[in-house]
């Protein structure tokens, strides 16, 4: 049995499913076996697709108008079709760049295999770029993670300010652009330097000279 799925991204009426529906009906998909969604192809929570995948049985074939109707993420597409294949369900694209994909035929399986290889290649490129970026950051003295918002200049100002009774911690943090937690990791309530503050100043035991 042929089961159809169609999708548009907007619910404001600017996009309609007429063209997709006509293509599915022309491919001999029964009108009662067509599922649809109004959602981005990048979203995982698509009730129409979920119901469609649940309804498919071994020997069925899922048909879509174009490949991007099923999803815009290559890896998601590959994983979905792999799951269908494992269940004995075929997948067929009616038009567009993926029109040669039909996992019920040998040539269609070959084309899909190329798509799967591209998805794996994309994944490896992302991993490789991430590792290269981390290596470059370490070479520049960074070990990853978010940079500290506290700077040496801010720290010295905080030390001087915290030593004054009239200082309001909330206003000081807002002026320095840091959180209370960051402030107190570096400076004590009396303006004394704490361990993180000593590290920031290169381990120098700086002291607050303000009374």
Closest CA to 54 of 46, 66, 42, 43: 46
Q: In what order do the strands lie in the sheet with 90-93?
A: 34-38, 2-8, 61-64, 90-93
Q: For residue 9, indicate whether it is catalytic.
A: yes
| Candidates 9, 107, 192, 195; catalytic one | 9
Q: How far apart are CA 113 and CA 184, in angstroms?
A: 56
Other CB atoms within a 10 A radius of the CB of residue 40 amount to 13
Closest CA to 165 of 194, 192, 193, 189: 189
Active site residues: 9
């Amino acid at each position: 049995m042929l089961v159809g799925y169609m999708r548009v991204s907007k619910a404001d009426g600017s996009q309609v499913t007429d063209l997709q529906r006509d293509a599915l009906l022309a491919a001999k998909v029964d009108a009662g076996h067509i599922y649809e969604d109004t959602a981005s192809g990048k979203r995982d929570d698509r009730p129409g697709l979920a119901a469609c995948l649940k309804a498919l049985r071994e020997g069925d074939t899922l048909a879509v108008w174009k490949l991007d109707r099923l999803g815009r993420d290559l890896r998601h597409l590959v994983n979905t079709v792999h799951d269908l294949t494992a269940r004995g369900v075929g997948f067929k694209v009616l038009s567009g760049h993926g029109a040669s994909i039909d996992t019920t035929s040998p040539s269609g399986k070959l084309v899909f295999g190329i798509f799967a290889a591209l998805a794996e290649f994309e994944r490896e490129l992302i991993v490789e770029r991430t590792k290269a970026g981390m290596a470059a950051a370490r070479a520049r003295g960074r070990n990853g993670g978010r940079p500290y918002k506290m700077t040496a200049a801010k720290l010295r100002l905080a030390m001087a300010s915290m030593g004054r009774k009239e200082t309001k911690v909330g206003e000081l943090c807002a002026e320095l652009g840091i959180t209370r937690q960051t402030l107190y990791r570096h400076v004590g309530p009396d303006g004394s330097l704490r361990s993180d503050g000593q590290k920031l100043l290169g381990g120098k035991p700086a002291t607050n000279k303000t009374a």
